Structure 1
Amino acid sequence: MLRFPRPREWMVGAAMAWTVMVPAQAALFEDDEARKAILDLRAKQSQSEDAQRARIEQLQNQLATTQRGLLDLSGQIDGLRSEIAKLRGQNEQLARDLSETQRKVSDQSATLDNRLRPLEPQKVSVDGKEFQADPEEKRQFDAAMGLIRNGDFNEAVSAYTSFLQRFPASGYSDSVRFWLGNAQYGKRDYKSAIATFKTFVASNPDHARAPESLLAIANCQVELKDTKSARKTLDDLIKAYPNSEAARAAKERIASLR
């Protein structure tokens, strides 16, 4: 015969069963929440790790790009240094070339000056007269003077005559005429000598050699046996240049003519 629980016993048993089931359900609920929380944390951690990896990869890429840029820059710097060294070498060579060129130009200028110097007019002084003379003028005058000093009067006459034809306006002209008269006198061409000396005195009455020229004219006249003309010339000399050496010689010469 089956026995059914009494209402009180059933209620007590049901209450006990409920008591057992409630904690179990609560535990299950807490486990689900915890699991969900863990999954959320894992998802967040995974996302964070992915973000970190992406950032790290980005930084690595940036670093690689920067390194490549630095390498390129380093290469450019080395290239610039090489170019600077090359340019410095070229500048040094140019400086040496310039210095050498300047030296050559200086040497050439000095050589040219030495070549031109003999061709440039020179300041000379003859018979108290200073003037500029071309080198060729001086050379020919000196050559003619050498001829007359050596007693080569014929050649001296030719040299002085040629000089006057070539350099009619030369500063030497007055002295050339004086010495031409002496050369003519030396070769005993007295008439030509008289004409030359007279032209000289007429053109240069204040010349230092004018008194000597008058004395030379008188000597030529004496050689031509023209004593009267010689005496007159000597008188003119004494009157015109009384304090000259030629005037004293003229007085002695007049005395010898009497």
Structure 2
Amino acid sequence: MRLSLLALVVGALFAQPASAGLFEDDEARKAIIELRAKVQANESVANQRAEQLNALVQDQLQPLRRSLLDLNAQIDVLRAEIAKLRGANEQLARDLADTQRKLADQSQSVEARFKPLEPQKVALDGREFQVGPDERNQYEAAIGLVRRGDFAEAVAALNAFLKRYPASGYTDSVRFWLGNAQYGKRDYKDAIATFRAFIAGNADHPRAGEALLALANCQIELKDNRGARRSLEDLIKAYPGTEAAQAAKERLAALR
């Protein structure tokens, strides 16, 4: 009995560690199983959250996608309108350029029509003044008659000019040529009166010496040698060194 009891005790002693090791493996397995369960539960929760988040994102992205599509459509519409407006602007620019060109052409045409009617600057006998087109034409026509020797018509034309344009810048020149036309017509008395009026009002005129010489010639034609000598002497004294003064000296010598 003692031997059997001892054997049992010894067996029990030797059997104790094996049971303890077995117990520890079960605990580990349980821990692993529990850990796996927790991991799976966490994964399940994470998947659910991910799915929920994805669904939420999709829900939020869907309106955004629609908004982007609407925005792109609006952009396309705006681009089409901009292209249309650009084309309209280009057409307006062409129309404006055509209008400006037409206006410029019309302006030039009007200017060309009215330019002959505008006053023009004239330089005559060292003086400058403004004259109208008709005024200038009438003056040149009258002077043309004098140069052609049509003295009777020239006298009428020059007198008509003085009557129509009494304040003209041509007045002094008209009076000078009127005296010459009267001389050519042999209206010596009228010529003397015209030359005297010209000289009295224009003693500093470039043609004053010529007018005084012509006056002396008229006096000579009328046999007024005394008056002619006085006129020639006045010419030589008033306008020395001029061609008229030189001619006056020759005429004065001939009269003596």
The TM-score normalised by the length of structure 1 is 0.71
Deviation at 1:94, TM superposition (A): 1.5
- Judge which range, 104-113 or 57-66, deviates more: 57-66
One-letter identity of the residue aligned with 1:186: G
Distance in 1 of aligned mates of 2:204 and 2:73: 92
- Judge which range, 112-121 or 197-206, deviates more: 112-121
Per-residue CA deviations over 1:71-97 (Å, capped at 9, x if unaligned) read 322321221111111111111112212
Gaps of 5+ in 2: 1-43
State the Cα RMSD in Å. Answer: 2.8
Match of 1:185 in 2: 183
Three-state SS of the structure 2 residue aligned to 1:106 is: helix
Q: Match for 1:115 among 113, 116, 121?
A: 113
1:97 aligns with 2:95: yes
Q: Match for 1:222 among 220, 237, 246?
A: 220
Gaps of 5+ in 1: 1-44
- Judge which range, 126-135 or 155-164, deviates more: 126-135
Deviation at 1:248, TM superposition (A): 2.1
One-letter identity of the residue aligned with 1:160: L
One-letter identity of the residue aligned with 2:107: S
Distance in 2 of aligned mates of 1:163 and 1:206: 23
Q: Match for 1:202 among 189, 200, 221?
A: 200
Deviation at 1:244, TM superposition (A): 2.2
Distance in 2 of aligned mates of 1:151 and 1:196: 19
Q: How many residues align?
A: 215
1:153 aligns with 2:145: no
Shift in alpha-carbon separation, 1:144–1:55, aligned structure 2, 3 A:
same
Distance in 2 of aligned mates of 1:128 and 1:104: 43
Distance in 2 of aligned mates of 1:89 and 1:117: 41
Three-state SS of the structure 2 residue aligned to 1:169 is: coil
Match of 2:141 in 1: 143
Deviation at 1:60, TM superposition (A): 5.7
Three-state SS of the structure 1 residue aligned to 2:101 is: helix
Distance in 2 of aligned mates of 1:255 and 1:129: 34
Distance in 2 of aligned mates of 1:108 and 1:223: 60
1:78 aligns with 2:89: no
1:245 aligns with 2:243: yes
The TM-score normalised by the length of structure 2 is 0.72
Distance in 1 of aligned mates of 2:90 and 2:250: 84
Three-state SS of the structure 1 residue aligned to 2:121 is: strand
1:233 aligns with 2:231: yes
1:131 aligns with 2:147: no
